[in-house]
A and B are shown apart, each in its own frame.
Chain A
Amino acid sequence: MKILILFVALLLFESTILTLSAQSTGLEQGNKTPEIKLSNTKGDTVALSSLKGKLVLIDFWATWCAPCVAEQSELAKLYHKFNQSVFTNGKGFEIYGVSLDAKKTSWENFITTNKISWIQVSDLKFWRSPVAKTYNIQALPFNILIDGNGIIVAKNLHGVELENRIAKFLRK
């Protein structure tokens, strides 16, 4: 009987690990994020490292990803709420949007129509983007919150959870 229970428990454990690893990005909390240097809609290169000193949300998204599109209005609220805030681990809050779009027109139109005012970059290479490989992105939407030193402080949080995590770092 004990052996049977152990076997069943092992099976459960294995299935949990499999599910977790499928969502893993290979970058964990406490790790430094790799550099990203991509172009904005005007063609100017914006490096992730240029935001050093700020609390930054790297938002991986695309106009063809329905949940990502739905999330943009929430990101806008967070951006305006925290943009000028001072945190224990950074001064000011910035969003570095990395789009996995393939067509410039769709990407550009969405940004203009929705008046997105934070940084938006893309290499327009869809899922073939080297960034998707470097960050081992398995699904969209996906995001990473980094502190002023580029260290990961949260991964793939959305909605209230994301807002609460950002607020947690506010300097009192």
Chain B
Amino acid sequence: MKTKILIFLLFTIVTSMFAKCQSSSSGQNDPWTQQQLLDPADLAKVLNDPKSVQPIVFSVGMQAVIKGSIDIGPAMKADNLNTLKEKLSKLPKDSQIVIYCGCCPFSRCPNVRPAIALLKEMQFSNYKLLNLPQNIKVDWIDKGYPMTD
């Protein structure tokens, strides 16, 4: 009996952990790899240290919230994606680039995929997607990371 209870409990835990992983990570068909996800804490550290090499940060969402980021506008719109393309065309292919939106979880965000797909298509080699699993408020603003004025 005890063994059965134990098996049941272990099964429940494994299932719940699996469900959590599913909800927090991105889908299998996303155009980015796990290695291309940048931890917000790491970006905040770099932005707060003027001696660090600063990446070029593009906001492809509703509003540029992160300090020093360039406001492209929602990348789901063709004209905004063209603006991003124009700006990228002036940069060396190995530029350190960070993309973020932060409106919603990745599963619902309409903006990060077109932007990342564009970077891939243009053969940039050193770009990251800021890992904001929930949104820019929870994963950046609430943590007190640097913001635009």
**CB atoms of B6 and A103 under 8 A apart:** no
Would you call B37 an interface residue if the criterion is a C-beta within 8 Å of the partner chain's C-beta atoms?
no
Number of CB contacts from chain A to chain B under 8 A:
68
**CB atoms of A126 and B10 under 8 A apart:** no
Question: What mask results when residues 66 to 106 of chain A are scored 1 for a CB within 8 Å of chain B, else 0?
Answer: 11000000000000000000000000000000000111000
Would you call A137 an interface residue if the criterion is a C-beta within 8 Å of the partner chain's C-beta atoms?
yes
Would you call A110 an interface residue if the criterion is a C-beta within 8 Å of the partner chain's C-beta atoms?
no
Which of A4, A9, A11, A137 has a CB less than 8 Å from the CB of B137?
A: A137
**CB atoms of A65 and B103 under 8 A apart:** yes
Find residues 1-28 in chain A having any chain B CB closer than 8 Å to their own CB.
1, 4-5, 8-9, 11-12, 15
- Report how many residues on chain B are interfacial, defined by Cβ distance under 8 Å: 28
Which residues of the partner chain A approach B135 to less than 8 Å between Cβ atoms?
Answer: 127, 139
Which residues of the partner chain A approach B141 to less than 8 Å between Cβ atoms?
Answer: 127-128
| Nearest Cβ on chain A to B33's Cβ, whole angstroms | 26
Would you call B41 an interface residue if the criterion is a C-beta within 8 Å of the partner chain's C-beta atoms?
no
Alpha-carbon distance between A34 and B60 when the two chains are bound, in angstroms: 33
Give me the 3 closest cross-chain CB pairs, A-B, nearest first. Answer: A127-B137, A102-B63, A102-B62
Can you list 8 A-B contacts with CB-CB less than 8 angstroms, sorted by A residue number?
A: A1-B2, A5-B6, A8-B13, A12-B12, A64-B104, A125-B63, A127-B63, A127-B135
